[in-house]
Amino acid sequence: MATKSNVKAEPAIDRIAVYCRVSSEEQREKQSIQMQVSAAEHYVGMQQSGGREVAISGWYLDDGISGTIQIAEREQGHRLLEDAQKGQFTRLLVWKLDRLGRHVSIILNLADEFERLGITITSITEPFDTSNSAGRLMVNILASFADFEHDTIIERSIAGTNERARAGQWLGGIVPYGYEVLGAKRDARLLVSEHQLPSVAMTEADVVRLIYRRLAEDKHSCVQIADELNSLGVPPAYVKDNRQIKRGKRKTNTAGIWRPSRIRNLVINPVYKGTHVYGRRSRKSRQTIERSVPAIVTEDLWDEAQRTLHQNLINSPRNCHRQYLLHGLIKCGHCGLTYTGCIYHGKDRYYRCNGKTAYRGPTRGKCPGKIVKAEPIEDAVWAEIEHLLLTPNEVLLKLDELDADSGRRHAVLEAEKLTLTRTIADKDNERARVVGLYRKGIITVDDLEGQLATVKAETKAAQARLTHIEQELTNTELRKVQFTTIEDRLGEIRSILDGGLTYQVKRQIVELLVTQVKVTTVGEGTSRHIDAEVTFAFDQNALCSGYTNRGSWPRPA
């Protein structure tokens, strides 16, 4: 006969894995993770004193690891998952749910994985336990809050960073060549570097000024400037700072030379005219902030350098094996893209719109612009240039007329400017008189507010008109300066002609005189033909001619 055993079954031990994480170096230095460890030890001790059979099976401490990283990619998190698969613990203990991750997807995926393995998650500071449905609901809610808190922290951090950037603080990154950072943390500021470079009697700022002068004043190319700096032995940034670049898994020294691309990237940086753009290199979509820094070159010199870069791009022969007199100057009247040289039938030179080959999206398709045979349009443009050079008085007379009109317009604008200035001053007196009437009790508060609003609106309108007039006056002055240089330019071209009409000479003259040649295709089917309009550099609107590929080039009356 079977008898009951008096031996009681041993209760199963609750094996607990403790996971702790802090995300920053600052938290690591403050030993924040030790606080989580102490809290876990206290929690387990309370469980044991209450009569529960619990034991810590392992500690998993990720120190200085962001919660946005998947747990499998963290060193201790990866070990935690491996031990969970082996069944080494039955419960996961964390100080707070967001220690597992800062995104909803990370937390919920991990909770599902542990539930599948029969492991419950317990938080020391939050009232949930995934061993029941209410606890699982709470996990979803807390995961959403963790994600929300993470986004809020980022928003506040970006707002604080932007505020410090606006105040002029240097917030890290590669210091532009020619500058240095003075101060630390909130006192860090970008200053012009006037320290002499090793091996050359120049400072970094001197090198930057030299580059801009060579471009803006001497019209050198980036290749020429790079050759000059290399011949002088000027150390580039990586050599100066003893920096290395990473190639594969190893860091190696650079070639230690200036390259044309490095020159270009330096020149287009607005920091050298005193405008630093913070946030433009950020991989995330964030607001860019412009702040003032000490300038190394003047804004006029910076602008002129940009124009030289653009002109060098237009005039560069690149990889052309044949000569195209108008390369970079012909623009399409349909899509606005540039016509470039090409060869048909093995030998004939043509200009073709880039819109006929470049993909512009499914709705726009290829440009309908007709290809243009090179020789006829080049001959036509050159014939117009010869006419201009042989009859310069016609050009100067037209520009003198424009200058006279500009002078008369200038006088009218000056008179109106004086009147508006007096009107604005009178409005200030009128405002004072209205206030005086109110103080004497002659008008009411409503009358006062109405009159002041009227005076304010009239003043604003007068000020807006005055601003517009001042801009027009500036434009007329600039036009006058431009007109005075035309005779000198024509003289310069005639001196070039004395050297002989090689292709290089003709191209040089075209660059000096022609701004663009606009080509438009008109007609349908086999009757399609080309209309072209050439714009000269003297005045964008004054000197234009029309060309058709039917052999005519009518000059304007």
Q: Where are the domains of the chain?
A: 14-163, 179-315, 319-557
Plot region of 117 (φ>0 → left; ψ -120 to 50 → alpha; else → beta): alpha
- pTM of this structure: 0.45
**3-class state of residue 77 by DSSP:** helix
**3-class state of residue 81 by DSSP:** helix
The CATH fold assigned to 14-163 is Rossmann fold (3.40.50)
- Spatial separation of the C-alpha atoms in residues 302 and 422, rounded to whole Å: 38
Main-chain dihedrals φ then ψ at residue 249, nearest 5 degrees: -100, -5
Averaged in consecutive runs of 10 residues, what is the pLDDT profile of the chain (557 residues)? 50 85 67 85 87 89 86 91 92 88 81 88 79 68 69 69 69 81 80 82 89 89 87 77 58 71 89 82 65 88 88 60 81 87 80 77 73 89 80 62 61 76 83 82 81 84 82 63 57 65 78 84 82 73 42 38
179-315 falls under which CATH superfamily?
Answer: Putative Large Serine Recombinase; Chain B, Domain 2 (3.90.1750.20)
Residue 18 has a pLDDT of 94
Residue 59 has a pLDDT of 94
Token pair in block for residue 490: 């024509």
Q: CB of 57 within 8 A of CB of 119? A: no
Nearest to 398 by CA among 245, 501, 538, 250: 538
199: Cα within 13 Å, side-chain hemisphere? 10
Topology alike, domains 14-163 and 179-315: no
Q: CB of 278 within 8 A of CB of 165? A: yes
Residue 16 has a pLDDT of 92
pLDDT digit string (tens) for 229-270? 888 888 887 666 555 555 555 666 565 788 888 889 899 989
Q: CB of 11 within 8 A of CB of 31? A: no
Residue 127 has a pLDDT of 77
- Spatial separation of the C-alpha atoms in residues 86 and 67, rounded to whole Å: 24
Residue 557 has a pLDDT of 33
Query: Which string of DSSP letters, residue by residue, matches 202-242?
Result: -BHHHHHHHHHHHHHTT---HHHHHHHHHHHT---HHHHTT
Main-chain dihedrals φ then ψ at residue 414, nearest 5 degrees: -65, -40
